[in-house]
A and B are shown apart, each in its own frame.
Chain A
Amino acid sequence: MNEIFAVIYGGLIVLGALATMVSRDPFNKLISLGLLVAGVMPFLSDRGLLDVLAATALIAPLSTIFVLMALGRDAREP
């Protein structure tokens, strides 16, 4: 991967991590975490580890749903 795409997808990862750290509502945190996961995937594809990519792409929403199970419906701030 040349430098331009490394900067673009790396910027996506750093942006997602900073947004996850800054936001206070748990739903906004989970959405920003999805942004971080989206930035990780092109680096996995660049190394050629496509089986790891498929496994990771199926495990990441599972982990989000586990957190949503604890969140419930009354955790939302209006």
Chain B
Amino acid sequence: MTFNISSHWMNKLKSYKLLLSLLLCMILWLINLSLGSVSIPVDHLLQRLLGIPFPSDSWEIIVMEYRLPKSLTAILAGIGLTISGLQMQTFFRNPLAGPYVLGISSGAGLGVALLSMAGSAFGWQFLAGSGNYWSAIIAASLGSIAVLVMMGLAAWKVRDSMTLLIVGLMFGSAASSLITLLAYFSAAEELKMFTIWSMGNLGNTGWEKLGLLSGAVLLGLVPALASVKAYNAMLLGENYAVSMGINFQRLRWSMIVSTGILTGSITAFCGPIAFIGIAVPHLTRLLFKTNNHTLLFPAAALLGILVLLVCDSISQLPGMATSLPINAVTTAFGAPLIIWLIMRRNFSEEF
């Protein structure tokens, strides 16, 4: 009886935490919209939501054309990367797994590297239009899809998940070595363009691209949500999961497709965003004290949004003419936080 009461309260507590996270997300979203080189007061933002126009036209342009799409991109990327990382960590039963372990970011990187640097390396001219961001998106998508197809072939051939993990890492290394080669032969300006792409950027998605990105993220979330129960069963390991009637092969394909679409599309539009996908699932487990994916999925998505919005707000703090690269912020502010959380308690036991 005492247990029933305490479990009831625990569940209540967890729903409150979820609600609190949602509230924090909304507050941070407003703060994110208000901060930047031009500071826009929150009360004006709220009034704008109610239909009262901004006192200045430039504010309207700043918010509608730049800050709002950027914050929405941060929200989508926060959800997508975190849910990918969570799926990978549970599927591979490996706390170091993240959205990029299957080599998808390296594939996208290779695509962009070919686009931006192959010109001077091979004397190709047909890719000269690399200043156009659409072509970078297409190149990154093609790169991710290529890696995804190769991973699919590997997954079809080998049944063991550890082998799959190693194959993914090797694909990533191979792609990185090709990028290094291209970088070695490319001109300084192209190299800088690629380097900036690889630092991540949430601000390059206009409304049109945002529509595509949100479609892709929604599509990628479907197989993840359909496998919530299977991921819970996977907590006991593959053999127990199979003994409970989980179709392991189906789960594996759903994991590959879901994380492929999510990380592939986000990397294509925003570049490889470091840290979020690996760290936020751990953060969620520590803060919500649960391994249950019915709770972890929404909680991790909310915390992913939260963390990425905070990082984005930091990157555009007032007083700075330009914004910092998002990866510098996610890693610099996120890594110490995670180290602190992990050192606090017996981390591997919690995982």
Please indicate whether A and B come from the same complex rather than being unrelated chains: no
Question: Residues of B with Cβ closer than 8 Å to A?
Answer: none
Question: Residues of A with Cβ closer than 8 Å to B?
Answer: none
